């Protein structure tokens, strides 16, 4: 009988674990060590999971064995020696068996026992687990260690059941092996399993025909002894080595680069790619922007295609083997041993299913749209219903009988990939929403097992009975997982990461792409913050610690980390001169922004002397609408240089001339100098729009931060002066008031680059305290906001200025102005200006460009009406 957590609640065991792969084995070991009674239920009649089932010829790991092994016991590490860099399936299976024996795990594993149903019994606060043999086991905690790649995808090719020859599946290979000598063999599928098995089957078979739907990127594994340098590093300090793996991006210690592919010369780029090709490493370090930049990624794709063309002798076959239509890495890349060379053998043929799809499998072979072929054997290497398949294959019913399959009908929803709302005490090992398949899975398995074990242990010590995430925490995590994926190229591919390989499966990016290191930190932080996002139920009732663990956009987080690592002095401790120098120095480090048609620097008359400007003209045929842009910098810092990437971006997106004009800075020229200059510039540009190559009609204004303040103030002053008319105003994170007490100042005033202290410093330099209520400083305080041009106001969630921007949007709307308020979720004051650096800002920048296009077409329509009325 189990050591029940509460004496009044009884169950057969404390924990049921489903699956005896590497996850289930370690879970059992940990729970047993903590004194929890545990039973593991496994459908196979042996341990090893993946390595029990996938016995096809050539099966081996493609993460180096020294990394792809447990780290929880130094003794185990010392006594097990891997024979080569990438161990074969039999060796990895032998390792799993060794682990099972060494820790005497088998006695708590029921083999040949498939779990069919698991139902939460709310009254008894336990799970009722039903097996294929009809047994029912009750448990306090239910752990799905069922594997990400364990449920094969059903064969979705017409006629497959008609074939009279031999059928083999890579995922369910006969234990006794297969002899293909003198056989005509077809292999369908060219993912990792196909790519590993094809060269070996080709050596045996009389004929081998490979049916390829999507070509894959593959590089030589260069298998052999493990690299000496790696072994030395491992043996010298195992703890440090393992810790480096845990704190790495993918669960393998590897150098990190911040360099983008296009930041180096073509020669240097090729050298990096050659090194990657010759590394025999699945995930060599190349360039930082490989997952995010289509242009950079394509350079590697083309390099790899060249390699294929250089290996495969028949040009048509080579071309058919060249992956196109998706970016490198967005479908799982492969390592091979002579895969492309295999297609030079006379008995091997490639059928490109993109040109001639299979129409049916017949009694004797395979028919495509072009021909009928006869075979003795067909090998299906067609993959898995990945990440969710094995979980929802069990009929899991949570609170109020909610079926998990129903809850996940639109795609899986989890908190941290570990739990899902409505299913108390049910844990997922390497579940969707965790790094799992985007990592060395051994590292991710160990991390999850440790986290779950510690959570259950914590509950026992605290006298708690159930744990379940909150809806807010789960929604926040799902959002974060998507935010991370959305800044990469991954969602563009029809991959199994997206569920795209299984007909009818919702297209959702399944794993967490933020990295093993960040993910681990997040899980640890959740615990450190008192299990943030979880509800616990115990004798004294329910206690929820509701909240969202990651709210910033992932690329904004990285920017903040980089800024912090620079250890810069606070701006408010500097002289304006020193702060300006720093501002310029930081600006030179950014990506330049998109190319535009033409850039012209000039000067225009300000209120008290010349003002420099920079004009950005689109590459499209003109004349273009004109936008006067005012840079940010708290009226103290900046210039047209500082906002250059944003202006380029706005120019391209809005198809407008952006004229970015300087204005006099404080403290040398205090208020109202900047306002006077802003109005003078608006007047001059409006008058000279045509001469500047612009389209006749009212100009629009735009600005960021203090520049947005000047833009809207200039609009109002122009209204009061009877002109010039303004087509619209785009105000990005505007300063609209001088009140530093709003909630957004309290929430965001310290951690997100623009701080309350800096705003105070800006105001002190710009204007006397008495002058801060002047509506030319605080446009929100203007008595009359009616008849102002249509406005688009962008506020950022983690900006001290957020609430005053929102208040200004409301005030304008109340005054009858046409206002669009865009709320940039997860962004800080400056992140929308970081073109090509903060990629998650792009959708908002697109909306800004769209607003300017809208103002331009409205302005054009108005001028046409005016012109028509003159005729």
Strands 348-352 and 358-361, by their bridges, are unpaired
353 binds, among ligand FAD, ligand NAP, none (CB under 5 to 8 A by kind): ligand NAP
Structure token pair of residue 49: 């999971």
If binding is defined by CB under 6 A, does position 109 make contact with ligand FAD?
A: no
If binding is defined by CB under 6 A, does position 18 make contact with ligand FAD?
A: yes
Among positions 15, 144, 157, 812, the unique one binding ligand NAP when judged by CB under 6 A: 157
If binding is defined by CB under 6 A, does position 40 make contact with ligand FAD?
A: no
CA 709 – CA 404 distance, rounded (Å)? 51
Rounded to 10 degrees, what is the CA torsion of 287, 289, 290, 294?
-140
470 binds, among ligand NAP, ligand FAD, none (CB under 5 to 8 A by kind): none
390 binds, among ligand NAP, ligand FAD, none (CB under 5 to 8 A by kind): ligand FAD
If binding is defined by CB under 6 A, does position 24 make contact with ligand FAD?
A: yes
Among positions 191, 432, 511, 554, the unique one binding ligand NAP when judged by CB under 6 A: 191
Structure token pair of residue 687: 């008058």
CB-based contact 215:319 (threshold 8 Å): no
CA 625 – CA 727 distance, rounded (Å)? 10
| Shortest separation between residue 433's beta carbon and ligand FAD, angstroms | 15
Residue 323: which of 395, 415, 170, 218 has the closest Cα? Answer: 218
Residues 444-473 that bind ligand FAD (CB under 6 A): 445
How many residues touch ligand NAP (CB under 6 A)? 26
Residue 9: which of 791, 538, 454 has the closest Cα? Answer: 538
145 binds, among ligand NAP, ligand FAD, none (CB under 5 to 8 A by kind): ligand FAD
Residues 515-574 that bind ligand NAP (CB under 6 A): none
Among positions 40, 61, 493, 835, the unique one binding ligand NAP when judged by CB under 6 A: 61
Tokens 């008609």, residue? 162
Tokens 């240097």, residue? 268
626 φ/ψ sector (left φ>0, alpha ψ -120 to 50, else beta): beta
If binding is defined by CB under 6 A, does position 196 make contact with ligand NAP?
A: yes
| CB burial string 456-489: b at 16+ within 10 A, e below | bbebbeeebbbbbbbeebbebbbebbebbbbbbb
Structure token pair of residue 205: 């078979």
If binding is defined by CB under 6 A, does position 149 make contact with ligand FAD?
A: yes
If binding is defined by CB under 6 A, does position 440 make contact with ligand FAD?
A: yes
| CB burial string 386-404: b at 16+ within 10 A, e below | bbbbbbbbbebbbeeeeeb
Residue 534, classed as helix, strand or coil, is strand
Residues 171-230 that bind ligand FAD (CB under 6 A): 193
Q: How many helices (DSSP H) and strands (DSSP E) are in the chain?
A: 25, 29
Query: Binding marks (x or -) toward ligand FAD, 48..77, rule CB under 6 A?
Result: -xx-x-x----x-xxx----x---------
| Shortest separation between residue 415's beta carbon and ligand FAD, angstroms | 19
41 binds, among ligand FAD, ligand NAP, none (CB under 5 to 8 A by kind): ligand FAD
If binding is defined by CB under 6 A, does position 114 make contact with ligand FAD?
A: yes
Strands 334-336 and 218-220, by their bridges, are parallel
| Shortest separation between residue 444's beta carbon and ligand FAD, angstroms | 8
CA 824 – CA 797 distance, rounded (Å)? 6
Residues 6+ apart with CB under 8 A from 315: 309
Query: Binding marks (x or -) toward ligand FAD, 391..410, rule CB under 6 A?
Result: ---x----------------
| Shortest separation between residue 707's beta carbon and ligand FAD, angstroms | 49
CA 337 – CA 197 distance, rounded (Å)? 9
Strand spans (E) along 782-839: 791-798, 819-828
CB-based contact 859:698 (threshold 8 Å): yes
If binding is defined by CB under 6 A, does position 683 make contact with ligand FAD?
A: no
Binding region for ligand FAD (CB under 6 A) out of 37-45, 448-456, 677-685, 803-811: 37-45
Among positions 62, 517, 643, 649, the unique one binding ligand NAP when judged by CB under 6 A: 62
| Shortest separation between residue 804's beta carbon and ligand NAP, angstroms | 50
Query: Phi and psi at residue 730, in whole multiples of 5°?
Result: -105, 110
Residues that bind ligand FAD (CB under 6 A): 18-24, 41-44, 49-50, 52, 54, 59, 61-63, 68, 114-115, 145-150, 193, 390, 394, 429-430, 440-441, 445
Question: What residues make contact with ligand NAP under the rule CB under 6 A?
Answer: 61-62, 149, 156-157, 170, 188-194, 196, 211, 213-214, 332, 353, 381-384, 437, 496, 501
């Amino acid at each position: 009988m189990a050591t029940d957590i509460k004496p009044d609640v009884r169950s057969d065991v404390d924990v049921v674990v489903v699956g005896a792969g590497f996850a289930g084995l370690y879970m059992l070991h940990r729970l047993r060590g903590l004194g929890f009674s545990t039973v593991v239920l496994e459908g196979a009649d042996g341990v090893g999971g993946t390595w029990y089932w996938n016995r096809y010829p050539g099966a081996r790991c493609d993460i180096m064995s020294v990394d792809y092994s447990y780290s929880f016991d130094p003794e185990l590490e010392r006594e097990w020696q891997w024979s080569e860099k990438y161990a074969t399936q039999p060796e990895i299976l032998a390792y799993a068996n060794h682990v099972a024996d060494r820790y005497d795990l088998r006695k708590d594993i029921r083999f040949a026992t498939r779990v069919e149903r698991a139902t939460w019994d709310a009254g008894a606060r336990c799970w009722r687990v039903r097996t294929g043999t009809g047994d029912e086991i009750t448990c306090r905690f239910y752990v799905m260690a069922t594997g990400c790649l364990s449920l094969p995808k059903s064969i979705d090719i017409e006629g497959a059941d008609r074939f009279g020859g031999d059928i083999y599946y890579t995922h369910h290979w006969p234990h006794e092996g297969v002899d293909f000598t003198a056989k005509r063999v077809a292999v369908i599928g060219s993912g990792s399993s196909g790519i590993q098995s094809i060269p070996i089957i080709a050596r045996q078979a009389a004929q081998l025909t490979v049916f390829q739907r999507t070509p894959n990127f593959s590089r030589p594994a260069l298998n052999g002894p493990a690299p000496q340098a790696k072994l030395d590093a491992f043996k010298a300090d195992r703890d440090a080595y393992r810790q480096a793996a845990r704190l790495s991006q993918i669960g393998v210690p590897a150098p990190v680069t911040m360099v983008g592919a296009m930041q180096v010369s073509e020669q240097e780029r090729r050298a990096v790619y050659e090194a990657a090709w010759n590394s025999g490493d699945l995930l060599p370090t190349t360039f930082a922007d490989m997952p995010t930049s289509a242009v950079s990624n394509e350079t590697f794709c083309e390099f790899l295609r060249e390699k294929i063309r250089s290996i495969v002798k028949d040009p048509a076959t080579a071309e058919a083997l060249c992956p196109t239509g998706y970016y490198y890495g967005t479908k799982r890349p492969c390592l091979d041993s002579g895969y492309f060379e295999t297609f030079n053998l006379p008995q091997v043929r490639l059928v490109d299913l993109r040109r001639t799809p299979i129409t049916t499998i017949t009694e004797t072979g395979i028919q495509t749209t072009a021909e009928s072929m006869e075979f003795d054997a067909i090998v299906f290497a067609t993959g898995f219903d990945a990440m969710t398949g094995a979980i929802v294959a069990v009929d899991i019913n949570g609170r109020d009988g909610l079926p998990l399959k129903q809850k996940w009908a639109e795609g899986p929803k989890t908190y941290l990939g570990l739990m899902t709302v409505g299913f108390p005490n049910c844990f997922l090992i390497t579940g969707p929403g965790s790094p799992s398949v985007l990592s060395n899975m051994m590292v991710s398995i160990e991390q999850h097992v440790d986290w779950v074990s510690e959570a259950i242990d914590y509950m026992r010590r605290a006298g708690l009975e159930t744990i379940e995430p909150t809806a807010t925490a789960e929604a926040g995590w799902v959002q974060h997982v998507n935010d991370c994926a959305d800044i990469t190229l991954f969602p563009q591919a029809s991959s199994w990461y997206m569920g795209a390989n299984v007909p009818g499966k919702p297209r959702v990016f399944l794993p967490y792409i933020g990295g093993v290191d960040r993910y681990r930190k997040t899980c640890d932080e959740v615990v450190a913050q008192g299990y943030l996002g979880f509800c616990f139920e115990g004798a004294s009732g329910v206690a929820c610690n509701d909240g969202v663990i990651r709210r910033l956009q992932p690329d904004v987080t990285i920017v903040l980390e980089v800024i912090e690592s620079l250890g810069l002095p606070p701006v408010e401790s500097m002289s304006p001169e020193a702060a300006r120098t720093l501002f310029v120095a930081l600006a030179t480090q950014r990506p330049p922004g998109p190319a535009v048609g033409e850039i012209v620097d000039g000067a225009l008359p300000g209120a008290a002397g010349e003002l420099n400007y920079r004009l950005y003209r689109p590459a499209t045929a003109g004349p273009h609408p004109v936008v006067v842009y005012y840079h940010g910098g708290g009226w103290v810092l900046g210039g047209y240089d500082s906002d250059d990437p944003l202006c380029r971006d706005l120019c391209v997106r809005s198809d407008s001339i952006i004229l970015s004009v300087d204005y006099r800075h404080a403290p040398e020229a205090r208020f109202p100098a900047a306002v006077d200059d802003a109005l003078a510039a608006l007047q001059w540009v409006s008058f000279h729009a045509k001469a500047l190559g612009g389209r006749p009609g009212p100009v629009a204004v735009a600005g960021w931060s203090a520049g947005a303040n000047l833009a809207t103030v200039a609009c109002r002053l122009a209204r009061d002066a009877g002109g010039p008319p303004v087509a619209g105003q785009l105000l990005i994170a505007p300063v609209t008031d001088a009140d530093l007490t709003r909630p957004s100042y309290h929430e965001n005033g310290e951690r997100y680059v623009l701080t309350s202290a800096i705003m105070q410093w800006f105001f002190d330099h710009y204007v006397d305290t008495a002058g801060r209520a002047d509506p030319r400083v605080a446009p929100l305080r203007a008595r009359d906001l009616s008849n102002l041009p249509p406005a688009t106001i962008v506020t950022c969630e983690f900006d001290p200025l957020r609430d005053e921007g929102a208040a200004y949007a409301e005030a304008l709307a109340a005054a009858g102005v046409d206002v669009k308020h865009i709320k940039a979720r997860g962004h800080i004051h400056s992140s929308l200006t970081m073109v090509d650096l903060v990629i998650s800002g792009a959708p908002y920048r697109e909306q800004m460009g769209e607003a300017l296009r809208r103002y331009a077409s409205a302005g054009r329509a108005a001028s046409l009406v005016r012109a028509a009325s003159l005729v």
